[in-house]
Amino acid sequence: MIDLRLLRSDPERVRASQRIRGEDPALVDDLLAADERRRAAVSAADGLRAEQKTISKQVPRATGEQREELLRRAKGLSDDVRAAEVEQAAADEAVRTLHRSIPNVVADGVPPGGEDDSVVIETVGTVRDYPEPVRDHVEMAELHRAIDIERGAKVSGARFYFLTGLGAQLELALVNLAMAKAAEHGLTQMIVPALVKPEAMEGTGFLGAHAAEVYKVDADDLYLVGTSEVALAAYHSEEILDLSAGPRRYAGFSPCFRREAGSYGKDTKGVFRVHWFDKVEMFSFCRPEDAAAEHQRLLGWEKEFLTSLELPFQVVDIAAGDLGSSAVRKYDCEAWFPSQQRYRELTSTSNCETFQARRLNVRYRDDAGRTQVAATLNGTLCAITRTIACLLEVHQQPDGSLHVPAALRPWLGGAEVLEPA
RNA sequence: GGUGGAGUCGCCUAGUGGCCGAGGGCGCACGCCUCGAAAGCGUGUGAGGUGAAAGCCUCCGUGGGUUCAAAUCCCACCUCCACCGCCA
């Protein structure tokens, strides 16, 4: 949710953000009006409650006629309070509905436009030549018996797979490397629940426009997370954090489940887009004034990780229309897939500012001792399955063998090259 | 899944309808004392909304209800603990 104080003091800023996102700016005025109505309702109810309290306190001391009179007045007030509270509840609900429907206020400098308007801000590494035949990750996976897609479909359906042999080893190697890097950077390693309550899902903004993306377990009113961001964000919900020593940083490992609704026919080959994969995700709670710098820090760690895997990639500044409801800014790292002859998303980092923390009620104490809403940021360290696909393609050798980046060797028995199985 | 017990301001705890938004202890902060510390003494010490401030309002697991009035009575739910059943 956006900051209502910002809305009151600078509604034009919020309207402008709505426009650049391609959302309806009129909602801003609806929210302002609803907010005004709520404030009036609250103040009316407060006044009545105060009066009722005063009279109620006089009742036990009064006797006879006087007592009867007091009780009569109190009874009337009681009805008034009830009515005022009904109005207040309705006004609250109206504000909440509108408040939730307005996405975060985009940061200055975010490229305007939609999916195709994102801006490449940096390219890292060089794409080498791939002599024929260039194999895609499916062919490489078959050659190395690393991924069993057919049996994944047999057992679980389309977009499922088994990691077998080398594939399984690669996953464990990547998880170990990512977690080790995370610890090196001072993040707390976490293994987090993949099933969460509706509040956690709602609080992180995943039940808005993308609700259809999410698996729900109806019998228990739980959701399967699409990223450990959900559990990590909700980890400190309803808490007041001590951020005086700097941001609180976590690296969470969990499976991720995505329905991929509306992506039929998109990336159907192999394991590039799947319903389930494992991921190591970074998450940070910090002061809002530190959020932009923290965002750069997370991006830096993502770049370092991809570089250590010797994957050429580019960094993209995501355009406003493609940000998602929670983020004020988002950078994706897209790595080169030789079979597709283009860069594809491997990691993504978002600065959500106070949007999630306000919903989840995560706060900290400022220097003056006042509680303030914290900022949250998230970033992919390693989305395992897609990274495996990328490694298989990028590091293929003409003879079908696989070059192993030095960083992964400690977890793969020291091998520099892996021959087909 | 079954049965029983419990959820009060960081922690422990008092509180069975009105002077209780809430007493005590611990902890913590500040002050006094001290060369310094400990002990002792004093003062303060939950959160949210609104307001320039004083203040006012809300919150005793959550949500309903009864009542002029609810931490206190009633209902539902959640969580935790214990035992039983089942299980990695």
Measured from the CB, is A8 under 7 Å from any atom of strand B?
no
Give me A29's structure tokens: 């005025």
Between CA A254 and C1' B30 the distance (Å) reads: 47
Region of residue A329 (left: phi > 0; alpha: psi -120 to 50; beta: else): beta
Q: What pLDDT does A74 receive?
A: 87
Q: What pLDDT does A239 receive?
A: 87
The protein footprint on chain B, as nucleotides within 7 A of a CB, is: 18-19, 47-50, 56-58, 64, 68-69
Give me A285's structure tokens: 């709670």
Q: What pLDDT does A262 receive?
A: 77
Q: Which nucleotide is nearest to A46 (CA to C1')?
A: B57
Residues (pLDDT < 50) of chain A are: none
Residue A375 near residue A288 (C-beta atoms within 8 A): yes
Dist. CA A70–CA A222, nearest whole Å:
50
Cβ-based neighbour number of residue A220 at 10 Å: 9
Cβ-based neighbour number of residue A248 at 10 Å: 20
Please give the positions of A annotated as active site: 258, 273, 345, 348, 386
Measured from the CB, is A127 under 7 Å from any atom of strand B?
no
Measured from the CB, is A128 under 7 Å from any atom of strand B?
no
Q: Which nucleotide is nearest to A52 (CA to C1')?
A: B68
Indicate the helix (H) or strand (E) that contains A177. helix A166-184
Q: What pLDDT does A240 receive?
A: 87
Between CA A220 and C1' B82 the distance (Å) reads: 25
Q: Which nucleotide is nearest to A77 (CA to C1')?
A: B68
Q: What pLDDT does A120 receive?
A: 96
Between CA A168 and C1' B10 the distance (Å) reads: 46
Residue A355 near residue A329 (C-beta atoms within 8 A): no
Measured from the CB, is A371 under 7 Å from any atom of strand B?
yes
Global pTM reads 0.92
Between CA A42 and C1' B6 the distance (Å) reads: 35
Residue A384 near residue A277 (C-beta atoms within 8 A): yes
Measured from the CB, is A361 under 7 Å from any atom of strand B?
no
In one-letter notation, the amino acid at residue A283 is: F
Answer yes or no: is the ipTM higher than 0.95: no
Between CA A189 and C1' B63 the distance (Å) reads: 36
- In DSSP notation, A17-32 reads HHHHHT--THHHHHHH
